[in-house]
Each structure stands twice: as structure tokens, then as C-alpha cells.
Structure 1
Amino acid sequence: MNTFPPPGFTRTHSAIPGIEVYMPAAEKVEHQEVVLFRCPQCGGDRAYNLAERGLTCTSCGYHEPAPQAAVGRQAQSFEFTGETMERVAHGWGEARTDITCQQCGGRSTAPAKMLTHACPFCGSHKVVQRAAPQDVLRPRFLAPFQIDAETCQRQFQTWLRGHWLVPAGLRRKAQASGESLSLLANVSFSRPRPYSDAPFTPLYLPFWTFSADAHAHWRAEVRKQRRVGNKTYFYWTWEQGRLRQSFRDLLASGSAHVNPRFLHRLYPFDLEALTPYAPAYLAGLRAQAYETPLDEAWDKARNFMRAEMRRRCQQQPSGPTIRNFAITLDYSDESWRYILLPIFLATYTFNNRVYQVLINGQTGKVAGQRPADWHKIGLIALIWLLLSGMLIFLPQIFLTPDTLAALIAAAGFFLLVAGFILLLFLIFTALRMDDD
């Protein structure tokens, strides 16, 4: 008697309820052997050195360059099939510790021999540690760090003192601070620090990249006009058209614990620097496995493509005024990659409040939170109010009611209105700095 399903087949998703569909089972991929980064000279531990871009022994300084085999945007992508998901490699390829924060829920991985741990997202030391599972989806490519910790610190200082609403005391510390961080990337910290020693954690964040060809067919009524003698008549006529657009390497973050607005401000990342994943790049560094699953990230990418195609199609009609616009959209050649991109992440405290800062590990671009000096805003508002009040009321007291007094009072009233608008602008700017 024949068995069903036959050997070598496995059940897959069925679009019709009650109908079972089977496909050839994917070959099982064995986990690659876990790599230990021992120094061949003294037997000590090695970590990835951001400054020299290679593995450096933490004991004797022995250095070995990292693999330099950048493939850029030619990096292999995958189709949306169940077989693909079964065939991709799993595990980090080295022994790592999985760290879960009990305060913010953030998860990341660190080298197994790193003794002290803190959450890189909120700075809390209330974390739970366990061995990182080797069945997680392995990223196929990553972009190595291009700047070191000292460059990162200088970028942060310049950014922090670059806004006049930052408290003067904090700006002076940024101006005077000459501290540098260790060039070795395995520096860790256990709590949010005050500005003067705010350390940056080199961290590989997970990203999905998506590529697809979008095909759109649109139809809309377009308003036309016709002149007959001295009169202008308006009428509506139907138009339709087609548009094809290729989208390549759309980025979607796989992290749920980094503010997406901060990440967008770090763009662009240089995807031409993508390199095949090797455990050596993560030696001594932290990394995060994806939290946003593939299907959810793909929905976000499709929503972006849909909005972009709609915007471009609405530019095609022969007139600027349209109604009853409808669009049909199809996709082809859809593919994805799971990659890691480099950032520096720090949390620092000011006036008992925690602030988060991100720096692009390739370009040094900075995004994050800066405290605003509300005392400075209040002082500006008070001075402006007093000046406006003097211009409005003093002429009424010391001058006879005439044209000059009226003009001075009008100027004071105008200054008061302008000051109110300026105050609203300052409050809005401060809230963006403080609460982003």
C-alpha cells in the first residue's frame, strides 16, 4: 500500500481551505561548527578591532586582517518560497550569549566570554543571560564598520554642541571633553552614563532588503477646459496609463527596540560594502537577531512601493486635477536578503533622564535625543514680553497721544505677536529635541 505523502515530501501552505498541498522537502542544512577565536601566538581571546578592521588579540596584540570580499549589491537574494526558508543557513557560527532586558524587553547577543552585560537599547543592567540558540536564521551578508570608537565619540561631541538650545553646561562638557574610547570593540557598560563618559556600543542591527518590479495600471477622470468666445467651460474625460518601476534594496529594519525615526536619519547605508557573513566580523561585538519577521517587513516594503507607485501614476494624467483615480498593482521578481548593518548605540543621562543616540557605523552620521534648555526658552520669552510691554505702554504714559506714540505702540504690539510665534517655534523645536 502506497503511503501519502510519499517520502521526501513535506506539507506546505494551501490557499484553499480543506486542500492539502505538499512540496519536495528541502535538504537539511547542518549547523556549521562553532568557531573559537584563539590567538595563534599566545592562545588568548581575539576581538574585532574597529580601527584596524581585523581580529586583534586582547592579550598580546597579534593582528589578523578580516576577510575582504565585498560583493555589494550583487549579494545573493532569495525568492519568497518555503523551500528557500528551509535551505538558508542557521546559527551565528560562534558561541554567543543571548541577552534579554527585563526593563525594555530588548534582545541582543554578545560574545560568550564577555563577563558584564547591559541592555544596549536602554542601558539597564537588569538582564537575563542564556546561550544564544543556533537555530535562528543566519544573516547572509553584513556591512563592516568603517569608523572606530574615537571617531564615533568626536562625531557625538560635535553633534551635541551643534544646537544652541542644548544646555550650556552640557555644551561646555562636549567642548572640553577629550576622552577617547578603547579601540577594541569589546568594551561594555552596565548603566546609562553621564555625558562625560558615555560609551558607544558597536552593534550590528538586523535589516531586510527587498527588491521587486512593480507593474501598475491606472485610470482616472481628468478635468479639461475649453474656451468658447469669452467663456471658459470645464469638462471631465477618462484617461488611463501604465507604469513599470523597479525597486532595488529597500531597507526594512528587523529591530523592534530602536526608534525607526532615528534609523531613517542614519540613512543611507553603503550597500556596496556588503560582505558575505563570517563569524570573525562579530568577534567581540554585539549583534541583534531580527525581531520583525520577514512577512511583516515585506508588508511594510509593499506599502511603501504602493504609495510610491500611486504618487508617480498620479503625475501621469494630462491635467493637474483628477478624480475617481483607481490603480491596479502587480509585483514580479520579488526577492529579499537578511543582512546586518553597523551602528554605534549609546544611552546617557542628563538631569535624571535617559537619552538614546545612534551613529551610522559607516558614515558617522548621528541621530538621537538631545536635552533642551527650557530655562533659556523661558528667559527669551520673558525678555521679549518685557520689551513688547515697554513699547506698548510706556509711550502712553510719557508721551502725549499723537502719531509717534501710536506708531511705537503698534511696533510693540507687532513685536508681541512675533514673539508669540517665535515662542511656539522654540517650544516645538525643544519638544522634538527632548521627546523624539
Structure 2
Amino acid sequence: MSVTEEHRWPCAQCGADLRYNPGATELVCDHCGHVQQVAPSETRAKRDALGEIPLARGLKADREGGEISETHRSTSCPSCGAVVELQGASHATECPFCATPVVVDTGQIRRIKPQAVVPFKISHDEAHRALTGWLGSLWFAPNTLLEFVRKGRRMAGIYVPFWTFDADTRSSYSGQRGDYYYETEWVTVTVNGKSERRQQQVRKTRWSPVSGRVARGFDDVLIMASTSLPQRLGNDLTPWNLSELAPYNPDFLAGFQAEGYTVSLEAGHGAARDRMAQVIAGDVRRDIGGDEQRIGKIDTDFSDETFKHVLLPVWTAAYKYSGKSYRFLVNGQTGEVQGERPWSVWKIAFAVLGAAILAVGAAYLYDPSLFDG
């Protein structure tokens, strides 16, 4: 069993902890301001880190352990299930995804190593401004949520795990092609209370059997490997610019947290194939042509399937209202904001009441006789 590797980044001048500076290639000390450059990756190491791994090899390593796996010390959130990897000697923390207190799990879990990371590009202050603007635009939000924004509570910077999948596909299909044509029919219509007969063009569809083949290559189909974030929120943080992927370097994690994946490689691969299937179905419809298409069957052969395990930067904030947690996410590369939002029942009720009063007032001004006893 491999030994858990812990990293610390002491400042060379004062000994305080350094942190990665988003948007730069440097570590900074908040205590004395000392700056230290992140060591550049060797050319060969970069090529190996960003290269694709054969899928079969990865599936075996995820199930049995192997050369591309390692162990991590992690904590599991009892509320949302997030697995957050810990640096240093921390034993307790607050879940950054749902604000639930959690205590470190002393067990170790074998994991596939992250190969690459998109370093944080958006600073905390930039992310907070983006979140503030987004929250400020919400209607009927509770006053406590607005107070949450005004107080400027610090957001958590987290590297969220993702899988990327590549594949070449060849698909054979069968189905039907529908072509529109028109026939003239007599119909009965009512005009000024009287029935009369008229001619009308009626659209019909002529169906004919079809079959064929389509092929497509897929590159970097991105699947979020976290179950702690709502899939809609995590998937809507797109687009990601994966050309900015850098070889995994612990320096990029200084001052941030990293979540371990909770969606297995096998499950992620299944989700990626489902997404590929949707694209292939679109290819089939275009290949069938015509005005309408019916797909009877698609058989797809997959080849040259590979994957990468990468970490992508997300700023998160958790807010509790009426006993429920709400999450807000900011893409740490682009500043895109996604989030859940609570609704103030009182504000909605007052708005409905106000609208009713305005409606009654408008009706009275239009026709006061409506209100005569």
C-alpha cells in the first residue's frame, strides 16, 4: 500500500503557508507578501500527464488498483456525500458544498491519480463579485440571502474531479424516412354561422424504409465525477477551455481543496456513452434526411477508447435557509455562475397581494359601477 503524501508550502521568509495565486504561475504569502514561482513541468512529464490512458487499463486500475492509482486521506460529508481530500493535519472541517460540519475519515481509499488540472484563473474577489451580481438579480430572494451577500462571506475554492473520454465510433442503423406530400380534400367549415364545403390542402407523410452507416470521433467528452454537486449545476458551468490543462502539480492546490471522485470511472464511462449516443442519433437523423425520421435501431462499435482524470476549479458558497442547504458555484476559469436559490414565501405573498390590490384599483378606475352595492 502506498503512503499518503502530504504537501506543505512554507514561506521562505516567514514560514507562513503559501497559497496559489489564481491567474498567475506563482505562490504568494498572505502574511509577508513573498512570491515564489510554481516550478515548470518538464516537457516529457507534461506530455505523459496530458496523454490519454487506454480505457481498459483505467477500468482495471479503478477496480483492482495499479500503477496509475494511489491512496488519499479523505473526509465524507454525512449530508451530501462529498469526498474532500485533505492536506496537512486537518481532522475536521465544514463541507464547502453544503455547509455541514464533517470530521476526517481516517481510512484510505485507492484512487486513480489526477493527471492534469486547470489552475484557478478567477480570484476569490472576482468570483465573489460575479456571485454578488448574480444573486442581486434574483427576485423574491429572502432578506437573509441578501445579507449573506453583503457580509461578503468567504467562498471556498475547490478542484472538482472530472473524467474526459475519447472514442472512435462506427454505427449502423435502420429506420424510416418520412417525406411530406399534399392532397386536396373537401372539408366542411362554418362561415358566419353557416356550413359550407371547401377544398383544402392536407399534408401527409410518405414513409419508406432506410438503413445506413455513420461514423464519428469523440474528443474530451466531459463527465463530472462528483455526486456532491447537483448534476445540473456542475454541467451548466460550461464551457471549459481544456487547452489550458496543466500537468497535475500540488503547487496549484496550495490554499485550495480537492474533492476525490465519487463517480467511478466505469459509471462515468457509461454516462459518456449515453451522451455520445445522443450525438450519434442526431447524425443518423441527418443521414436519413427527409422531413421526418423514425429510428428503429442503432448498433455502435466503439474503438480506441481512452480517458483522462482531471481537476477543474470551482468557487463554491453554501447557504442554509429554513433547514435546507443551497449551493452556489462559480467557474474558476471563466466566472460563469450557477446556483440553487430559495424563495421567500412572504415576499411572494405580498407581491400577489399587491398585484391583486392594483388590479382592483385599476378595475375601479375603469368602471366604478362594478363596485356599487
2:48 pairs with 1:80: no
What residue ranges of structure 1 are gaps of 5+ in the alignment? 1-28, 178-195, 400-436
Match of 2:125 in 1: 150
For 1:158, the aligned partner's letter is G
> Does the 8 Å CA contact 1:219/1:241 hold for their aligned counterparts?
yes
Note the alpha carbon deviations across 1:41-65, whole angstroms, 9 max, x for none. 4444333233654223455432212
For 2:11, the aligned partner's letter is C
Mapped partners of 2:346, 2:271: distance in 1: 41
Mapped partners of 2:30, 2:8: distance in 1: 14
Mapped partners of 1:350, 1:32: distance in 2: 38
SS in 2 for 1:357: strand
Match of 1:49 in 2: 21
Mapped partners of 1:228, 1:115: distance in 2: 77
Matches within 5 A, 1:415-426: none
> Does the 8 Å CA contact 1:201/1:344 hold for their aligned counterparts?
yes
Mapped partners of 1:216, 1:394: distance in 2: 71
> Does the 8 Å CA contact 1:111/1:284 hold for their aligned counterparts?
no
2:39 pairs with 1:39: no
Matches within 5 A, 1:13-412: 35-50=7-22, 52-57=24-29, 59-68=31-40, 75-82=50-57, 85=61, 86-91=66-71, 97-114=73-90, 117-125=93-101, 127-130=102-105, 133=108, 135-167=110-142, 170-171=145-146, 174=149, 177=150, 196-224=151-179, 235-323=206-294, 325-350=296-321, 353-386=324-357, 388=359, 391=363, 394-396=368-370
Provide the TM-score with structure 1 as the length reference. Answer: 0.69
Mapped partners of 1:124, 1:323: distance in 2: 49
For 2:306, the aligned partner's letter is S
Distance 1:35 1:378, change over 3 A: closer
Distance 1:171 1:59, change over 3 A: closer
Mapped partners of 1:357, 1:396: distance in 2: 49
Mapped partners of 2:318, 2:69: distance in 1: 33
Instruction: Among all aligned residue pairs of Structure 1 and Structure 2, give the percentage whose two residues are the same amino acid.
Output: 26
Cα distance, 1:334 vs. partner? 1.0
RMSD over aligned CA atoms reads 3.5
Distance 1:50 1:115, change over 3 A: farther
SS in 1 for 2:127: helix
> Does the 8 Å CA contact 2:74/2:260 hold for their aligned counterparts?
no
Distance 1:397 1:206, change over 3 A: closer
* Larger RCO (CA within 8 A; separation ≥ 6): 2
Aligned length: 346
> Does the 8 Å CA contact 1:55/1:66 hold for their aligned counterparts?
yes
Note the alpha carbon deviations across 1:212-248, whole angstroms, 9 max, x for none. 1221222222244678999998643222222112211
For 1:142, the aligned partner's letter is V
Distance 1:164 1:238, change over 3 A: same
Distance 1:31 1:248, change over 3 A: farther
Cα distance, 1:376 vs. partner? 3.3
What residue ranges of structure 2 are gaps of 5+ in the alignment? 186-200
For 1:292, the aligned partner's letter is V
Mapped partners of 2:80, 2:144: distance in 1: 30
Mapped partners of 1:229, 1:173: distance in 2: 66
Distance 1:90 1:173, change over 3 A: closer
Mapped partners of 1:222, 1:41: distance in 2: 73
> Does the 8 Å CA contact 1:207/1:340 hold for their aligned counterparts?
yes
Mapped partners of 2:359, 2:5: distance in 1: 75
Cα distance, 1:89 vs. partner? 4.9
Cα distance, 1:132 vs. partner? 7.2
Match of 1:188 in 2: none
SS in 2 for 1:250: strand
The structure in which a higher percent of residues are strand is 2
Worse-matched range after superposition: 343-352 or 200-209: 343-352
Distance 1:284 1:236, change over 3 A: closer
Note the alpha carbon deviations across 1:355-394, whole angstroms, 9 max, x for none. 2111111111111122323333323333444455563985
SS in 2 for 1:346: strand
Match of 2:196 in 1: none
Mapped partners of 1:167, 1:134: distance in 2: 41
Mapped partners of 2:91, 2:208: distance in 1: 72
Note the alpha carbon deviations across 1:395-426, whole angstroms, 9 max, x for none. 44559xxxxxxxxxxxxxxxxxxxxxxxxxxx
Mapped partners of 1:242, 1:260: distance in 2: 33
